[in-house]
């Protein structure tokens, strides 16, 4: 999909190996590392990452904070805290949309023009994949439409075939 000079696509792979200016981390509110993609990013970036994270004082659900990328190919990491799925009537969609908007804002602030984003909240936090993919794609589409030229490329990085199918379906529905 192309909007306002930005290409947006779903790709399958391990986000820690990918050569974007910045990648987004689906972190927890401590920002001190965890399981899933968060653990993979901390392992790949090396121990200096957690030292910088300690200085940030955590992060609220729906917000995002940037650090350097350390040993990753990406120069910057944008850490965002997705909502835990509690049935869908507890503000989950608005909080998840906020994660994407805040992550894109932080990415612009650090000068990133290419960005890789994992499927925030869809692992340990239990957000249903199809619903999360729709929030992700719709939020990103509106954001880049309002800021033409801010990003060259945004990749929705899916860890498995099921996630890739869900994100491709959401992209086709825009
Ligand atoms: P959350 O706590 O926000 O649910 P998780 O890390 O548990 O975060 O899962 C978020 C998504 O990231 C899931 O779809 C999971 O399959 C995916 N994921 C896990 N490891 C990686 C990785 N190395 N690269 C890309 N995506 C990953």
Domain ranges of the chain: 2-173
Quick check: helix, strand or coil at residue 52?
helix
pLDDT at 4: 86
CA distance 45 to 161: 25
Q: Residue 46 CA to chain centroid, in angstroms?
A: 20
**Distance from the alpha carbon of residue 108 to the mean position of ligand 1, in angstroms:** 23
Q: Is the pLDDT of residue 147 over 90?
A: yes
Q: Is the pLDDT of residue 18 over 90?
A: yes
Measured from the Cβ of residue 90, the count of other Cβ atoms closer than 10 Å reads 12
pLDDT at 22: 98
How large is the average pLDDT for residues 10-36?
97
Cβ atoms of residues 95 and 62 within 8 Å: yes
Q: Is the pLDDT of residue 75 over 90?
A: yes
Mean pLDDT over all residues of the chain?
Answer: 98
Sign of the alpha-carbon torsion through 164, 138, 1, 74: negative
Q: Is the pLDDT of residue 74 over 90?
A: yes
**Distance from the alpha carbon of residue 50 to the mean position of ligand 1, in angstroms:** 19
Residues taking part in catalysis: 38
- The predicted complex's ipTM stands at 0.98
CA distance 94 to 112: 24
CA distance 135 to 133: 6
Ligand 1 contacts (CB < 6 A) are 14-16, 26, 36-38, 40, 82, 118-125, 157, 159, 163
How large is the average pLDDT for residues 53-74?
98
**22 to 85, 92, 124, 154: CA distances (angstroms):** 26, 25, 23, 10
**Domain range 2-173, its CATH number among 3.40.50.300, 3.40.630.30, 2.30.30.140, 3.40.220.10:** 3.40.220.10
């Amino acid at each position: 999909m192309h909007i306002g000079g930005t290409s947006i696509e779903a790709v399958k792979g391990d986000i820690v190996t990918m050569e974007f200016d910045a990648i987004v981390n689906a972190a927890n509110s401590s920002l001190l590392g965890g399981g899933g993609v968060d653990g993979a990013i901390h392992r790949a970036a090396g121990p200096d990452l957690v030292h910088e994270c300690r200085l940030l004082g955590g992060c609220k659900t729906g917000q995002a904070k940037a650090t350097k990328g350390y040993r990753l190919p990406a120069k910057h990491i944008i850490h965002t805290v997705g909502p835990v799925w509690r049935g869908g009537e507890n503000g989950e969609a608005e909080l998840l949309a906020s994660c994407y908007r805040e992550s894109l804002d932080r990415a612009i602030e650090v000068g990133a023009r290419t960005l890789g984003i994992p499927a925030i909240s869809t692992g340990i936090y239990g957000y249903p994949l199809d619903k999360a993919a729709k929030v992700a794609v719709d939020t990103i589409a509106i954001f880049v439409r309002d800021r033409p030229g801010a990003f060259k490329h945004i990749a929705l990085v899916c860890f498995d075939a099921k996630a890739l199918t869900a994100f491709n379906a959401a992209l086709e529905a825009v």
